[in-house]
Amino acid sequence: MTTRLAWKNIWRNKTRSLIFIGAAFFGLALAIFTINLMKGIAAQRLDDAVSIQTGHLQIQNKDFNTFREIDQYIADPAQVRALLKDQPQIVSITERMVSEAVLTTPENTSIAQLTGVKPEIEIQFSALKDYLIGGTFLEGDLPKPILVSKKTAERLKLSIRSKVIVTLKAVSGEIVGGAFRVSGIFETPNTPYDENNAIVKYSDLGELSGIRNPHEIAILVNDRMQLTRIEGFLVKNLPSDYRHYSWITLLPQLYAFNGFTEAVSMLFTIIILLGLGFGLLNTMNMIVQERTREIGMLRAIGQSKWSVFFMLVKESGFLMFIGSLTGILLGIVIVNMTSQTGVPLGSGFALLGIRATIYPVVVWPMIVMVCVLATILTAIISVFPAFRALRIRPHAALRD
């Protein structure tokens, strides 16, 4: 009975109720959208960074991460490939060769980590192709193509097709060199990466350094939640000569940044919820004040204190939930739509590694969290006006 009465009561002052419901509706839609957009940004930055740099998981010779010697390669990559073959979450695997190198032009010298990649695999695997500002990935007719960053190109006065001498220590211990030609220039948002990296073909680097084997086998998965499971599998099955690392170990700053993004969007949501909470408190206090006589009458004719209390709690609940549930639904619909079409953010945030178009990601745990928070908040807030109503005595009904 109090439920029906509470429901009818919220429509007494339609304007006031609709204002509150509207605030909850837009507030929660915005919160859900923001949370999922931020998640989309974090996911995009992560995808870029892991695909260009480390993979979600990486397998190396057990000493390579410490010493980075050219002969610390993966002795039997076929064995590792066979091991990974049956892992359904793995979507892509690339093998890379790595060497410290000196790049020289008549103008200047630069030290870089040279990564040898197989272009046809790498172009699928890595997002670097999206950050080319000139030229092509390693395709084309150039002999010994090399990709350098804009930074390096500027320092060494390089342009597309210009020649650069690469010098490195071969597996034999000799210092060897070769002429490469710039096939593309890239600029990623990650300045330290750009300053220190250049990319060549796997076969070209192998020829120069005298090895055939990769130093890294990088893996992309379709579900990061499965990483621990795959890691568990590797712990059991990977030969002891090799070691595996997850992106969290290899890119700790990115991991920390993603946690930070999540915290900020949660904080934003909490601020919206608190705003709504105060709005609700204010609205319900007004309602109790206005209805003092009516509540007194209800008490006089025999409605119990607690029944009045819960009637008001239900009114708060209705006000909050009509607005926030529809708002959350709208948020989910918008996120679903924009996760297909993308949200155009413009190029203003490129320096932060944020692309011009972001695809929000629906994060159900966060949405559930918002629902739980909204419920807890409503439960807490609604108690206060209802408690005030408990103090209204029956003879309030008789006052004029």
Given the rule CB under 8 A, which of 15-23, 141-149, 373-381, 388-396 is the region that contacts other proteins?
A: 388-396
Rule CB under 8 A: choose which of 124, 282, 304, 336 binds other proteins.
304
395 part of the interface to other proteins, by CB under 8 A: yes
Given the rule CB under 8 A, which of 65-73, 111-119, 168-176, 301-309 is the region that contacts other proteins?
A: 301-309
CA distances from 198 to 207, 285, 393 (A): 17, 66, 80
Q: Closest distance between other proteins and the C-beta of residue 293, in Å?
A: 7
3-class secondary structure, 15: helix
Where does residue 114 rank: exposed (0-12), middle (13-18), buried (19+ CB within 10 A)?
Answer: buried
Rule CB under 8 A: choose which of 173, 302, 346, 365 binds other proteins.
302
Judged by beta carbon, residue 141 or residue 400, the one nearer other proteins is 400
Rule CB under 8 A: choose which of 193, 294, 325, 369 binds other proteins.
294
Bridge partner residues of 117 (DSSP)? 201
> What single DSSP character describes residue 53?
I
User: How many residues interact with other proteins (rule CB under 8 A)?
Assistant: 23
Where does residue 373 rank: exposed (0-12), middle (13-18), buried (19+ CB within 10 A)?
Answer: middle
Judged by beta carbon, residue 372 or residue 398, the one nearer other proteins is 398
Q: Closest distance between other proteins and the C-beta of residue 281, in Å?
A: 22
Q: Which amino acid is present at 42?
A: A
CB 263 within 8 A of CB 269: no
Helices (H) and strands (E) in the chain, counts: 14, 12
| Both tokens assigned to 371 | 């629902």
Size of the chain, expressed as the number of residues it contains = 400
132 part of the interface to other proteins, by CB under 8 A: no
Rule CB under 8 A: choose which of 301, 340, 346, 364 binds other proteins.
301
178 part of the interface to other proteins, by CB under 8 A: no
Contact footprint for other proteins (CB under 8 A): 1, 5, 8-9, 11-12, 293-294, 297, 299-305, 307, 393-395, 397-398, 400
